[in-house]
A and B are shown apart, each in its own frame.
Chain A
C-alpha cells in the first residue's frame, strides 16, 4: 500500500498496478459517470429531433435551438440579463464602500456585526418572499426593477464579506503613504484601494450576477407581468406545459447556463491571480 501513495515532493514512484489502485480508479470512473450522465443527456437532447427523457443516439437537428431562440424566449433571457445587471450594481457598489469601512475603520461591535452579516448570507431566501411580496404589493411595485433591487440586497452580505477580505489583503502602508502625501479619502479610495482590490470586487460582482441569474422563486412571485419574467420562469413554463418538449427545454437550458459557466471560469481566474500584493511593500 505504501507504494501506491505518492507524496508530493518525492520522486515519482514506480507504477505498480495494485488491486487498491485499480479499485480507486474504477470508483472514480463510476463517479464521473454519476456526474456526467445527466449533462450528456442535456447535450444530446438539445440536438436531437425526437428528444425524450431517454438517452438515444440523436438524429441531428438545430431545430431545438431555433425554438430556444424564438422571440419570447429571447425576451426572457433579456429580462434575466436586465435583472442580473441591476442587481449586481445595487449590491456591489454599496457593498464595496461598506467593506472598506469594515476593513479599515474602528467600529464598535465590529466582530458581532460581521458575524451577523455572515449569518444573513446563509438565511434561505424563500422565507423573505411573503413579507417582501406584502411590502411590494403595498408599495404597488410588483415588477422587474424592484425585484432586481431585492435580489441584489440578498447577495449583499456575502459580497461585503468577500470584498472585505480583498481589502484586508492590501498592505496598510500603501494607504499611509498616500495619506502622508495629503491625498483625500476619495482619492485614496479611487486611486489606491479600488485598483488593488478590483479582483475581489469583480469576484463579488460575478457572485451577485450568478446569484440573481439562477434565482427562480422571487421573480415568479414578485413580477406580475408575464412579459417581464426571466428565463428560469420560462423554463418552468416549458416543464409544466401539456406536451413537454424535452429537446427545446434542453437547448434553452443549455443557452441559459452558458453565461454562468463562462463567468465562473473568469471568477476562478480572478481568485487564483488576485490577491498577491507582496511585492508592493518592501
Chain B
C-alpha cells in the first residue's frame, strides 16, 4: 500500500487504484523466468500427457496428439489404482496426519519436559529436518536393513524391516524428516496461547485433558490446518527419499505416483504416459490444497462466529 503522501505530491487521485507502469519492468524478469521454466512446462506437460511421446525411437521426435489413448490405458491399468492408493496413504497418512500429530506431540512433550531433554529433542528434530533428502535416505536405508539400528533397538536384529514392511518404513522416515518443521510451528503456536485462559481453567480445577480439549486444541486449529497442508505438499515432493530407499519396490509396494511417473517416462520410455501421471499429481495436489484452504476457512469462520456469539 503506497501511502497517500507521494500521491498528493504527484497530483494523483488518491482513491483510484492505478497501475504503475514501472512495476511491469520490475516484474518482467521474474515473470519471464517463471513463465518459461515453470508455468509454461506445466501447461506443456498437460499437452504431452495426451501424446504418444517416447524417450527413444521414432516417436521421440515425431509425436502427435492421440486423444484419450493414454487416459484409457491409465484407467485400465491396475498398477495405477494401486499407486494412487499408496500415494494417498503416504501423502495424507504419513504427511498430513502423521507428521502433524508427530510435531504436535513433540511440541507438547517439550513444553512439559525437563529443559535438558527439551534442548536435546528440539535440536535433534530440527537437525533431522534440515538434512538433505539424500542423506536422510542413506541413513534410513542403513538403519532399517537387517542388523541396522532400528531392528536392533526393537529387539529384532535379523529382520529386514525395509524389505518386509517397506511402506511403513518409508512413511516413518518421511515423518522423521518432516516433523521437526511442524514441531517448530506448534511450539510457536503454543507460546501464543493466552496464559489467562489456562490460569482461569486451572482455578476452575480443569483437568489436563479438559484444558487440552477445550483450550489448547481449539487455539491450535489454524496451525493444524497449515501444518497439514504443508506436510502434505512436502510429502508429495519427497521423491528422493523413496527412490533411494526402495526404488518403488519391492514388487511396487512403495511405487507412489511421482515414482511411477518417473519410471514410466525414463525406464519404460513412455514419456507421454509419464506426463499424464504428472498431470494427475498436479490435479491431486490442487484438490488437496484447496480442500485444506477450505477447511481452514470454514474453521476460522466458525471460530470467529463462536467468539462473536460469546461477546
Contacts and interface: CB of A to CB of B under 8 A. Distances in A.
Contacts of A55: 148-149, 152
Contacts of B110: 28
A127 B278 contact: yes
Contact of A134 (B17, B22, B271): B271
Contacts of B282: 123, 127
A149 B217 CA distance: 44
Interface string A142-175: 0000000110111011001000000000001000
Interface stretch (B75-83, B136-144, B300-308): B136-144
A60 interface: no
Interface string B130-172: 1111110111111101111110110000000000000000000
Nearest to A138: B61
**Contact size class for A?**
35 or more
Contacts of A120: 34, 38-39
A101 B240 contact: no
Given A21-B112, A105-B2, A232-B132, A131 B30 contact: no
A4 B108 CA distance: 13
B142 A41 contact: yes
Contacts of B199: 7
A53 B145 contact: yes
Contacts of A52: 147
Interface in A31-81: 31-42, 45, 52-55
A156 B239 CA distance: 20
A128 B30 contact: no
Contacts of B248: none
B26 A253 contact: no
Nearest to A91: B33
Contacts of B114: 21, 25, 28
A112 to B, nearest CB: 14
Given A1-B208, A232-B132, A217 B138 contact: no
B139 A260 contact: no
A94 B31 CA distance: 9
A199 B84 CA distance: 42
Interface string A8-44: 1100000000001100110111011111111111100
A98 B113 contact: no
A-side binding surface: helix, strand, loop or mixed?
helix
Interface string B236-247: 110110011000
Interface in A92-112: 93-95, 97-98, 100-102, 104-108
A39 B127 contact: yes
A142 to B, nearest CB: 13
Contacts of A34: 176
Contacts of B271: 130, 133-134
Given A98-B31, A239-B138, A257-B135, A124 B26 contact: no
A41 B237 contact: no
Contacts of A102: 27
B275 A130 contact: yes
Contacts of A235: 134-135, 138, 244
Nearest to B286: A119
Contacts of B17: 106, 108
A225 B66 CA distance: 33
Nearest to B275: A130
Contacts of B150: 37-38
Nearest to A119: B289
A231 B133 CA distance: 12
Given A5-B202, A210-B130, 12 more contacts: A7-B195, A20-B208, A31-B106, A31-B109, A36-B124, A39-B139, A107-B20, A124-B258, A127-B261, A149-B37, A176-B3, A214-B240
Interface of B: 2-3, 5-6, 9, 17-20, 22-23, 26-27, 29-31, 33-34, 36-39, 41-42, 44-45, 48, 53, 106, 109-110, 112-114, 117-118, 120-121, 124-125, 127-128, 130-135, 137-143, 145-150, 152-153, 176, 195, 198-199, 202, 207-208, 229-230, 233, 236-237, 239-240, 243-244, 258, 261-262, 265-266, 271, 274-275, 278-279, 281-282, 285-286, 289
Question: 5 nearest interchain CB pairs?
Answer: A101-B26, A98-B30, A35-B124, A214-B132, A127-B278
12 contacts: A7-B195, A28-B121, A31-B121, A38-B142, A38-B150, A39-B124, A41-B142, A55-B148, A98-B29, A106-B20, A217-B239, A232-B134
